[in-house]
Amino acid sequence: MKINTVKSNILEKVIDDIERRYPLLDGTGNGWPQSLFDSRKNLFTHKNGYPLMREPILECIPKYLRDGSGWVQKLHEDSELSAHEAKEMEEIVETLKSGIFKDWELYPHQKESLKAYLRDKHVMVATGTGSGKTESFMIPMVAHLHRAAKRNVTGKASRGALKCLVLYPMNALVADQLGRLREIFGNIKMSEKLKSTGLNRYPRFGMYTSRAPFHGWYAKEKDGVWSNHKNRSSLKEIADTYNNLELNRPSIWSKMLKKGKIPAKGYRMRPSKDSEKGKKEDDFSDIETKVQIQWTKDNWNKLSKEKDKKG
């Protein structure tokens, strides 16, 4: 599609939206020489009027080069790393390889951001569109959680606490980046790796915007047990909405899941009719998994039917 055609289509939709939201009377019946409606439209479309859109500007984005040293599986082989840094980098590489970064080749600025994190340096990245600025801080975030897991030698689940804070100027950007986080930490292999490294639980993340249903904690800890009973009614409405999508609108659910729009820990249990597959309830002990099991029991009939439909 030509760029001017795109511009015309967008302009037409913007004008239609303004006319629908702010309707005007004709005015000619009261003696005005021209309709108020037509006058406003001319104001938007005439060359000497008020332009709603500027002429489109095309930006030729260069292809960002990789220098061959950014393969994730070989990051620890960098000759600029000290022996201590190389050892820690090798451990971080194993964590990165467990998830979506296994076959990635990083841009130089992404690799340098990770190295700077290992050296406890502050980093500022200024680079063009499509050059991977997001991964420049998300990969160090994975390294930070790896460090947190290694530090936890208690044998117990790492206490939930704020470890990384990402700030964005717009809610739309927050929602988009939350999908990226789900892509990384919603990967069960990545989460299992961090859990087994010492975190002893799955990593958690969330967002807080002006649209949040209420402020404060969703759950509170008492005597070593987390409970959300005070907020359960508010959370139930949210949970019911997602459960309804999953059980009754599988096509929409699959699209949202693919785009990272479903808040989840990376997996959902399913009933198995084959006794040779899956695990038994007694094989699990952590609270999060038991909640998943109970949900599966409560929705067993619907889940079984859904599975039968898919074969």
pLDDT of amino acid 289: 67
pLDDT of residue 213: 56
Residue 53 CB contacts under 8 Å (≥ 6 apart), including other chains: 7, 10, 11, 14
Q: Largest alpha-carbon pair distance within the chain?
A: 87
User: In 3D, which of 144, 159, 166 has the Cα closest to residue 95?
Assistant: 144
HEC-encoded secondary structure of 262-308: CCCCCCCCCCCCCCCCCCCHHHCCCHHHHHHHHHHHHCHHHHHHHHH
Check residue 277 and give its pLDDT: 66
Whole-angstrom Cα distance, residue 193 to residue 158? Answer: 14
CA distance 262 to 182: 8
Q: What is the 3-state secondary structure (H, E, C) of the chain?
A: CCHHHHHHHHHHHHHHHHHHHCCCCCCHHHCCCCCHHHHHHHHHHCCCCCCCCCCCCCCCCCCCCCCCCCEHHHHHHCCCCCHHHHHHHHHHHHHHHCCCCCCCECCHHHHHHHHHHHCCCCCCCCCCCCCCHHHHHHHHHHHHHHHHHHHCCCCCCCCCCCCCCCCCCCHHHHHHHHHHHHHHHCCHHHHHHHHHHHHCCCCCCCCCCCCCCCCCCCCEEECCEEECHHHHHHHHHHHHHHHHHHHHCHHHHHHHHHCCCCCCCCCCCCCCCCCCCCCCHHHCCCHHHHHHHHHHHHCHHHHHHHHHHHC
Percent of the chain with pLDDT over 70: 80
Asked if residue 310 has pLDDT above 80, the reply is no
pLDDT confidence bin for 265, thresholds 50/70/90: very low
Residue 292 has pLDDT above 60, yes or no: yes
- The yes-or-no verdict on residue 302 having pLDDT over 90 is no
> Which range has highest mean pLDDT (33-47, 148-162, 211-225)?
148-162
What is the spatial distance between Cα 112 and Cα 129, in angstroms, rounded to a whole number?
A: 18
Residue 307 clears pLDDT 50, i.e. is over it: no
Global pTM value = 0.62
Tokens of 154: 């208690």
> Distance of CA 288 to CAs 166, 182, 293, 294, 299, Å?
26, 18, 9, 10, 17
**Number of alpha carbons in the 13 Å side-chain half-sphere of residue 114:** 30
What sign has the CA pseudo-torsion 66, 67, 69, 73?
Answer: positive
The residue among 142, 246, 244 whose CA lies nearest residue 187 is 142
| φ/ψ of residue 183, rounded to 5 | -60, -35
User: For 33-72, how does the pLDDT look when each residue is reduced to its tens digit (9 = 90+)?
Assistant: 778 888 888 888 777 777 888 888 877 777 788 888 999 9
